[in-house]
Structure 1
Amino acid sequence: MALTVDKLINDDRFCGDNVYQFLAYLPFGLLLLVVRTLLALVLWVASIILPNKSAVRQMLSTLACWTFGVYVKTKGTRDPRCSVMVGNYVSCLDSLAASHVLGTISLRKWKVPPFFASTLGIRNAAQFVRKQHFADCPSKPVLLQPEGGPTNGRGLLKFTDWPFPIGNRVQPVAITVERLFTNVTVHRPTDARDKFPWSDALWFLCTPVTVFSVQLLPAVERHDDDDAAFTHKLRSTIAEALHVELTSYKWEELNRCGLGVRRAAAPDLLRLARQVKEVLPAVPINDIVRDLASTRSVDVTITNLLEGRAPYTPETQPPPPAATQPRYVTPVPTGVFPKSAKERQLSFQERKAQMIADARRKYIEKHGLNIALNNC
């Protein structure tokens, strides 16, 4: 089943199973926040007074990782022939993780202090000149994250944010992130590409450690592909390495649609749930609402309930009078999935025909139409 918008974004910061563990850790987290804030001041002063040398930049990168509690694991080998890397987008500190282990420069449109951008390995995309960069420092590859904005890592957005035409040989990078207790990225109405998400960065400071995994994939060559085909090849390579789906969403659509879903969730879900309840009266309303929150579709939710993908405990229904005993009864899912495609298709068609006949019978009884039920 295709991912819906609400599956690609995190609304809430807390993600742990046990809230008491998080509350027990909170005093230590606040102490860690104070210590790392002081360390950030040291980092700021050092970035101003120290010369711009490669050894100094590496030291500042290490100090920045300590400040934000970032630990980076790498897998794979960097291709020295690739001056451009393309990766997915999962957090505001992807650039720091990649810069620390790969020495990359990440392009952003954020309006942040120069020392902060330099420490995180960020270059402003609007002021970036590709030819000049490769003439000055050809050993530092550029990391592009053309999704345009972060997701929770469950799917890959469309690649739309290209600051310049990419070359004929590009190395894909698959980035994942793990953390205890809290989600790394949370979407808000004020999210924008040119604003650094300071609230997300603040949670790095009070979290014991955030583990980034950077997987370097084999380089992809363009050959005779046009830009669209080459982009699709890069997306497919990264999605396959991450074991996630390719989605048709752009980041702007994700942000806008995600906010719309959250605002309209309550009234819309109840209206849709009532429609499902009319077809499947034995299913508890809470189970219907829970599945509708992810599908946003009456048909898909009915199918999930019938197929057993959305488990529930049937409500006991009083037997109707003999005169009004329905000819068709909606089956309760058995949990047995047919082995062959032919059996699955037949099973689906039988259920579909039975549901249509049952709905027709209810309509005839409700409006008192003089139509024989045997024709249903």
Structure 2
Amino acid sequence: MATVAVEQLFDLQRLPENNFLSWLFLLLYTPFGVCLLLLRLFIGVHVFLISCALPDSLIRRFIVRVMCSVLGLLVKQNDPRLIDRTVKVYICNHVTPFDHNVINLLTSCNTPMLGGLPSFVCWARGFMEMGGVIRRSELTETLNQYVSQEGTVPLLLFPEEETTNGRTGLLKFCSWPFTVADVIQPVALFVKRPFLSESVADSSWIAELLWIFFMPFTVYQVRWLQSVSKNAGESFDQFAERVQKMLQWFAGVKISYKNVLLALFFFLVVSEQSSGTRPQTSFGFDSSSSSKENTRIGKMAEQVKEVLPHVPLSVIKAELVKTDCIDATITNLLEGQTFAQEEEVSFGASAVPSTSASWTSTTTVSRPSDAVPSSKVMICIVLHSIMQP
């Protein structure tokens, strides 16, 4: 399978361009859709209350699934007998913000919340709250402890970590979900909706929920695959790649890009070219969050610089973005890695690392001393640090 263009992995707008039939349908359907939306909002409150009141059981899942069909959310599965009750981890591709809710209508599972949602919102959306867990090492350790306990329901994890349109390709799977258990069950998820895109890259989960209520129906097709075990001597990266190829085969999509940050970078570029401004995306790299993140990384980099004064500051920041941990950064930088000479490559109005240099080369960004690095420059630094061998 050939590699797809990265902009094909995301839908930047709800309606396809130059599609007269879609616009005509939306125009004629809007009065009915608005009435349907208001009615489903009222019904949706009752569905939420019932799902909270009833204990997790087959009866509860059946009732909520039937009521969700009234809300326009239709869930189908190929063969429930394929669900492996001994598996502790399900691995699924990621298409919409409600994928975990859909799988939970078919079988009991928990999905950890990796973002910074308030506790009530996290609970209301059906996520498993992780408390103060921030570092990736803490996350995997907590999940390992969870699956080792008797009587816990399986975990549902999304190695892509970000949603795509699910039609053309998958983002490269992160390896950390495969460190939780040696046996996992892949789940292929397909989402279909008439005329409109199933999800838009810069849309919030609330907007996506309202579109589900507005449209006549949205179909989620779940396909359970045979459970897969980690081979002896196989690394977690190789295990993740093998499972990803299985899902790509069954989903009929093409080979994906190497990392979600690469896809994010091209998404920002494509958005700027189409609109002339940088959108606030669902990935969380808006201007305000970027400034806060840059400030936090800068403070951590100063602490590392005190321990390793010979290491360039830009290299420290690039490693901190990868690890988000001072101790792990110091350890990685002390593992005998060398640093190439600083070089500056212009990209538009900013400077980004050269892709021909080693991954540890540093970058000098031309900007005023009191300015905060833009999110695009920070993304490029991260990409440079992870994409080179």
Q: What's the TM-score once normalised by structure 2's chain length?
A: 0.59
User: How far did residue 3 of structure 1 move?
Assistant: 1.0
Q: Deviations over 1:111-154 (max 9, x none)?
A: 5565664565421355674334653633x211111101111111
Give 1:101's aligned residue: 106
Counting only pairs closer than 5 Å after superposition, residues 185-204 of structure 1 correspond to structure 2 as: 185-188=199-202, 197-204=205-212
- Which residue is 2:128 aligned to? 123
1:254 CA drift (Å)? 1.6
Question: What is the match of residue 249 of structure 2?
Answer: 240
> What is the CA RMSD across the aligned residues, in angstroms?
2.8
Aligned to 2:12: 11
Deviation per residue, 1:66-120 (Å, 9 max, x gap)? 4642111111411122111101101111111100012222223245565664565
- Please, which moves more after superposition, 89-98 or 69-78? 69-78
In structure 1, the residue corresponding to 2:106 is in which secondary structure?
helix
CA radius of gyration, larger in? 1
Distance in 1 separating the partners of 2:15 and 2:177: 34
Check the 8 A contact 2:36/2:214 in 1, yes or no: yes
Q: CA deviation at 1:46?
A: 4.1
1-structure distance, mates of 2:107, 2:210: 24
State the distance in 1 between where 2:274 and 2:223 align. Answer: 37
Match of 1:23 in 2: 27
Which residue is 2:76 aligned to? 73
Match of 2:198 among 178, 181, 184: 184
Once the two structures are superposed, residues 238-296 of structure 1 have per-residue CA deviations (whole angstroms, 9 ceiling, x without a partner) of 001011112124223322321212313599xxxxxxxxxxxxxxxxxxxxxxxxxxxxx
State the one-letter code of the partner of 2:110.
Answer: I
Query: What is residue 213 of structure 2 aligned with on the other side?
Result: 205
Cα pair distance change 1:53/1:171, threshold 3 Å: closer
Mapped partners of 1:142, 1:171: distance in 2: 10
Look up the equivalent residue of 2:179 and give its one-letter code: P
**CA–CA separation in structure 2 for the residues paired with 1:93 and 1:161:** 23
Q: Does the 8 Å CA contact 1:65/1:96 hold for their aligned counterparts? A: no
Residues 171, 256 of structure 2: 8 Å contact kept: yes
| Structure 2 CA distance for aligned equivalents of residues 107 and 60 of structure 1 | 24
Work out the CA distance in 2 between the residues paired with 1:69 and 1:255.
30
Structure 1, 86-95 or 110-119: larger mean CA deviation: 110-119
SS at match of 1:72: strand
The gaps in structure 1 that reach 5 residues or longer are 268-376
8 Å CA contact 1:110–1:124 kept in 2: the answer is no
- Tell me the CA shift for residue 172 of structure 1: 0.7
- Please show how residues 139-154 of structure 1 align to structure 2 within 5 Å: 140-153=153-166, 154=168
Aligned mates of 2:188, 2:12 — CA distance in 1: 24
Q: Which amino acid aligns with 1:75?
A: N
Q: Quote how far apart the aligned CAs of 1:53 are.
A: 4.8
Letter paired with 1:104: C
Distance 1:150-1:238 versus aligned 2 partners, 3 A rule: same
SS where residue 105 of structure 2 aligns?
Answer: helix
Note if 1:252 corresponds to 2:261.
yes
List, as ranges, runs of 4+ consecutive aligned residues in structure 1 with deviation greater than 6 Å: none
On the 8 A contact 1:155/1:245 being kept in 2, the answer is yes
CA distance in 1, matches of 2:96, 2:175: 16
Q: 1:99 to 1:115 in 2, by over 3 A?
A: farther
Q: Secondary structure at the match of 2:128?
A: strand
TM-aligned CA deviation for residue 231 of structure 1: 0.8
2:239 to 230, 238, 248: 230
Gap change, CA 1:56 and 1:119, over 3 Å in 2: farther
Conserved? CA contact 2:90–2:185, under 8 Å: yes
120 and 102 in structure 1: CA distance in 2 versus 1, 3 angstrom threshold: farther
In the TM superposition, residue 60 of structure 1 has moved relative to its aligned partner by: 6.8
- Report how far residue 4 of structure 1 moved: 1.2
Q: Tell me the amino acid that sits aligned with residue 201 of structure 1.
A: L
C-alpha contact 2:147 2:180 (8 A) present in aligned 1: no
Query: 1:104·1:121 contact (CA, 8 Å) conserved in 2?
Result: no
In 1, Cα distance between the equivalents of 2:49 and 2:243? 40
User: TM-score under structure 1 normalisation?
Assistant: 0.61
